[in-house]
Structure 1
């Protein structure tokens, strides 16, 4: 079944609890990400599908589709092709119109109160009734299905109690704020699901199929079967997982591996669906269908990770399991026992019971968390730290280990020329000029880096003719009457005269984490020079890792690159490392760390999406792919590694503020609960206590807006000075 309206992890628990109580229903699995429910009905079950739909609808959710789903890949594709209703603006949704209606009623009441105070109370009362009915109806349904003390029950009792004793304005405010919170959760949930659609779009919709006679025809990529032969031209995306049966080329596998440098591939080697063919024509034998290819598996990993992830439940909902029944019981006992057991006056004890109920109204408690969270989210946004909701902000401060992707996260994600060595008569500028001439017209990332170096240094690039390429091996051109080539060291070892000094230089450069391009004369086979390129670390990467270490957070670098490059980068940053990892390997490593500690994952690529989803909190670099940003719980819009430390510190400061608010609100309410039961304080003190606690809690939460720990946008040096203050705040 497809179920719409699930906004948070608690929705999953409510549905599972309700369905598990129904006869002959078992194996209930609710997937929050894809908005689907799978369950098993026993043969000849007394419970019918229609009854299941009715139960789900009674809880406030919508059942838009009831059918069999053959596989999780079908579910992934289905969510990518979701109904247009999911693309509604927030004010077009049911929850959005509810919030707008309540806002209009409250605004009208405040306006009328300025001129006709007596009528304002009635409008506030109307707002309470209109606002609380959906929550009260849901609370009743939840109570009947096994969840009697939900947050809906808490809010309904608080609003109705305040209305009964004449505090309609306060009751309306409580209902309105809760409705806004529900709407924000709904919007956040919708954005989280957008990542699945972005993933599904990576695989091309069509493929060029070759029949046994060599004829070509375009077919849907989803129709490909194992052993089909497909043609992949330069610039095309590979339509399915398979192996090359003819041709050679460089393939950009960054959608899968995250690595920026294309890898040369030739006959017999495997290719991934979604990879981009750079320069050669390939014939690929399909090894896996669309439902089982690499991208589909990544989609499934993201779904499974998000479905199994248990974000920290809202504090008030957990607390209300005990708080709500306890308060209701105490109020009932105060109203009933003294008149029955001690001959007390009914009116007096009813008054005291209502006063107690008003004091116990959870306004201050309800506001303590969202007010602080809202302030934390606001100051984070100002500093370029996009945090997707309170659960993420709360969890970030609890992490004790952070796994970083390498390419595009700790590094810039773009190869740059790091060193040039000249042999023979030419100097470094001559080598760069000739190499750039050979590479002119190539779209290969390494070619762009060489051309960029020549332009930046103001080096004149000679004209080149008869340019050609040996896919995955070398680029050739005639420059100044000489036939030159720029190739990989392995190709140069066969086509040029690599002496001991050249080989030693290549080994030294590669040991430093560089990719080496060899420039040589194809006629004389003379090596003219070496160009070393490397994806350099971000300027603040080492500082960011050091800041996290000072905060007691362990950092680990995860990469699909080779061990030699990974070690060179990691040694320069002072970070632990793991190399040659596929998306599944990153996921496994994060799961392994989760067994012993709270873990965050920082990444920017599609290959990072499963690990971002399965970590306790996922953090995406702002310059990364849409999939990574949508899958993650937070995004660093300015792509600074130091912002990870700022994010952790902001979370810890926010949680400290929440704890202060909760302790204050509970202490104040506890004090006046006792005085109300003893008859020392009356209704007006109860109103003052509740309103005062709400005001103080709100003001304390607003103090977070003065939080100066996050880095400034202009990079004027405040970032460096901010770190000690962040650490001081968290230690305090």
Structure 2
């Protein structure tokens, strides 16, 4: 690593470096004590105290001065320094190690919090990188000029070339194209756009050049609103976190106050001398320090994270492993999550007298000259069908000439001559103009398919309708089983999608989801997640697109698809399914529930052991080494208990 890269790493990972260096110093300090190099050991351990405890000490003092509150950070410093002071006073130097280990645990916790904050910054930067920094502004003389997006004004006209990202929300003033806007609106199939239609920043232009006129300032675009929503949702502290913070401060306040009282009252009210009283008070601070309590949680969660990683489930922090075990409802995006996000041939329905093979092969001959995603899906299906026919010796292949005089009609269909006959593929209104009336049964079937949210492509040749092809976004094969499994775990599945209601209802019926919300913008998904949280409490959200980012950030647990997911969704989510296997969601929920049980068991054990040590300190008269052994022993036992989650 070069010096410049090391400086950047050190700047962005100060907490992690402090924790690592503290761990190294504690280890060397222990070795020096073991070798009876007392002076060197004290010097090394003093450095470990300063490096590992600086941030916690500063946080504790700041909270005490500014908010007049005692927190666990301050308690840790008092307990650690008490152990160190008592160790030096009684020349029991291994007591200093106890305080150093306590500081090390808090240093690791601080490093994890720092990582979470950096992840939030990366998610915002990822959103901002989705739109270009400049746009081609059309001048009155017809020339274009590259200008920063921020300089654009309402009424300006910009040029977007084929294959480029739309720089800001606008209306099309000239041109026609298909736009892939699944990441923004959730629509599964690229949408055809022409004069007067609105386009969104961050969507991908297809094969047509567009002139766009701004109808609102760039900062009001949909993608900018998404950025602001993510920032707001990520900074909101959930109620569970607020409760934990209040508990920590209450615990610290009680322990510190009781420790002070124990150091002062016995000589005044009883027959203890000051040395005995201070000795007992310091033992109290050591045995009451939250080492075992903290070990009750972190080793368990880290073990669960490691277990999840083996199954292709990436937990970005331990809190979310615990949180997913508490969820009562789980919301799913549709496109790219429950479905593959790619248009596919769903059905081929031939007219009487024709076969599925004829319909598909005729359509594919023409669509091979089209760049439209639906046309590409038809070509792919025809190629697959042809490969299957080649592997079957009993199949008679359909032989067709190469089409000629190909002409595409944007938004309608494609026309050409095939086998010396005029052939049309496209919408019914387009095909009807070149052919006779449609068979009634086929027309009725077309209406049923459209009501189910499928796109219908008609195929005709000469004056005959050959049949129709239904195009749909393919449902993931594991989706139905996943929804069923989640229901058995007591969860309520819900669909939130930007796609139309008919398509959403069709997919929901296929996978077994009863509650569906469609035609949603990103802010609508965010609002619904908040409503669901009020109704159910903890709610998870599963998504893959940019439009899911605010909802993923707001949800109690955000789950992103690792392969199909956008960079923003991956950065914003708390859990990533690395192989896009939906069934791993149920595994993650079960892992979370198991971690909850183990954490609760460990907390009860840790608090019970602390209580026993406190009572033994004042009733049984244990000495400090025995108190430290009991304290550290309980920490080890709780840690080993947490490691059970590795299985």
Deviation track 1:482-525 (CA, whole Å, cap 9, x = no partner) reads: 4433213343345544423332221132234321112223xx45
* Structure-2 residue corresponding to 1:177: 105
> Following superposition of structure 1 onto structure 2, how do residues 54-73 of structure 1 map, counting pairs within 5 Å?
none
* Structure-2 residue corresponding to 1:340: 268
Total equivalences in the alignment: 621
* Structure-1 residue corresponding to 2:303: 375
Query: In the alignment, is residue 619 of structure 1 matched against residue 559 of structure 2?
Result: yes
Query: In the alignment, is residue 693 of structure 1 matched against residue 647 of structure 2?
Result: no
- Contact 1:206 1:239 (C-alpha < 8 Å) held by counterparts: yes
> Following superposition of structure 1 onto structure 2, how do residues 379-418 of structure 1 map, counting pairs within 5 Å?
379-418=307-346
* 3-state SS, counterpart of residue 136 of structure 2: strand
Could you say if the C-alpha distance between residues 628 and 534 of structure 1 is closer, same or farther in structure 2, counting changes exceeding 3 Å? same
Could you say if the C-alpha distance between residues 220 and 351 of structure 1 is closer, same or farther in structure 2, counting changes exceeding 3 Å? closer
Deviation track 1:624-676 (CA, whole Å, cap 9, x = no partner) reads: 11111111111111212222222122111111111111111111111221221
Could you say if the C-alpha distance between residues 530 and 229 of structure 1 is closer, same or farther in structure 2, counting changes exceeding 3 Å? same
How far apart, in 2, do the equivalents of 1:461 and 1:210 lie?
47
* Structure-2 residue corresponding to 1:138: 59
How far apart, in 1, do the equivalents of 2:540 and 2:125 lie?
24
* Structure-1 residue corresponding to 2:443: 503
Could you say if the C-alpha distance between residues 135 and 305 of structure 1 is closer, same or farther in structure 2, counting changes exceeding 3 Å? closer
Could you say if the C-alpha distance between residues 130 and 582 of structure 1 is closer, same or farther in structure 2, counting changes exceeding 3 Å? closer
Deviation track 1:520-566 (CA, whole Å, cap 9, x = no partner) reads: 23xx4532221112112111111111111111111111122222222
> Following superposition of structure 1 onto structure 2, how do residues 79-90 of structure 1 map, counting pairs within 5 Å?
88-89=8-9
Range with bigger deviation, 581-590 or 123-132? 123-132
Query: In the alignment, is residue 650 of structure 1 matched against residue 588 of structure 2?
Result: no
Q: 2:14 aligns with which of 77, 94, 97?
A: 94
* Structure-2 residue corresponding to 1:61: none
How far apart, in 1, do the equivalents of 2:217 and 2:595 lie?
48
TM-score of the aligned structures, taking structure 2 as reference length: 0.90
How far apart, in 1, do the equivalents of 2:499 and 2:138 lie?
34
- Contact 1:409 1:621 (C-alpha < 8 Å) held by counterparts: yes
TM-score of the aligned structures, taking structure 1 as reference length: 0.80
* 3-state SS, counterpart of residue 283 of structure 1: strand
Could you say if the C-alpha distance between residues 599 and 261 of structure 1 is closer, same or farther in structure 2, counting changes exceeding 3 Å? same
* Structure-2 residue corresponding to 1:637: 578
Deviation track 1:35-77 (CA, whole Å, cap 9, x = no partner) reads: xxxxxxxxxxxxxxxxxxxxxxxxxxxxxxxxxxxxxxxxxxx
> Following superposition of structure 1 onto structure 2, how do residues 521-540 of structure 1 map, counting pairs within 5 Å?
521=461, 524-540=462-478
* 3-state SS, counterpart of residue 239 of structure 1: coil
Q: 2:26 aligns with which of 91, 101, 106?
A: 106
Q: 2:540 aligns with which of 583, 600, 608?
A: 600
Range with bigger deviation, 509-518 or 368-377? 509-518
Q: Tell me, which stretches of 5 or more residues in structure 2 are unaligned?
A: 88-94, 388-398
Query: In the alignment, is residue 659 of structure 1 matched against residue 600 of structure 2?
Result: yes
Deviation track 1:452-493 (CA, whole Å, cap 9, x = no partner) reads: 112222267853444442222223344343443321334334
How far apart, in 2, do the equivalents of 1:496 and 1:286 lie?
42
- Contact 1:125 1:168 (C-alpha < 8 Å) held by counterparts: no
- Contact 2:30 2:97 (C-alpha < 8 Å) held by counterparts: no
- Contact 2:182 2:335 (C-alpha < 8 Å) held by counterparts: no
* 3-state SS, counterpart of residue 532 of structure 1: strand
CA shift, 1:388, in A, is 1.7
How far apart, in 2, do the equivalents of 1:85 and 1:308 lie?
33
Could you say if the C-alpha distance between residues 402 and 134 of structure 1 is closer, same or farther in structure 2, counting changes exceeding 3 Å? closer
* Structure-1 residue corresponding to 2:412: 473
How far apart, in 2, do the equivalents of 1:615 and 1:498 lie?
52
How far apart, in 1, do the equivalents of 2:191 and 2:134 lie?
24
How far apart, in 1, do the equivalents of 2:208 and 2:548 lie?
28
* Structure-2 residue corresponding to 1:158: 79
How far apart, in 2, do the equivalents of 1:289 and 1:196 lie?
20
Range with bigger deviation, 639-648 or 406-415? 639-648
Q: 1:297 aligns with which of 222, 225, 245?
A: 225
Could you say if the C-alpha distance between residues 621 and 643 of structure 1 is closer, same or farther in structure 2, counting changes exceeding 3 Å? same
How far apart, in 1, do the equivalents of 2:260 and 2:519 lie?
65
Deviation track 1:361-388 (CA, whole Å, cap 9, x = no partner) reads: 2211122111111111111111111112
Relative contact order (alpha carbons < 8 A, sep ≥ 6): 1 or 2 greater?
2
Query: In the alignment, is residue 485 of structure 1 matched against residue 424 of structure 2?
Result: yes
Query: In the alignment, is residue 572 of structure 1 matched against residue 510 of structure 2?
Result: yes
- Contact 2:176 2:210 (C-alpha < 8 Å) held by counterparts: yes
* Structure-1 residue corresponding to 2:208: 280
- Contact 1:380 1:386 (C-alpha < 8 Å) held by counterparts: yes
Deviation track 1:250-301 (CA, whole Å, cap 9, x = no partner) reads: 2221131122311122222222222222233332221122111111111112
Q: Tell me, which stretches of 5 or more residues in structure 1 are unaligned?
A: 1-83, 707-732
How far apart, in 2, do the equivalents of 1:626 and 1:190 lie?
15
How far apart, in 2, do the equivalents of 1:297 and 1:91 lie?
30
* Structure-2 residue corresponding to 1:419: 347
| RMSD of aligned residue pairs (Cα, Å) | 2.5
- Contact 2:407 2:416 (C-alpha < 8 Å) held by counterparts: yes
* 3-state SS, counterpart of residue 312 of structure 1: helix
Q: 1:587 aligns with which of 518, 526, 543?
A: 526
CA shift, 1:228, in A, is 1.5
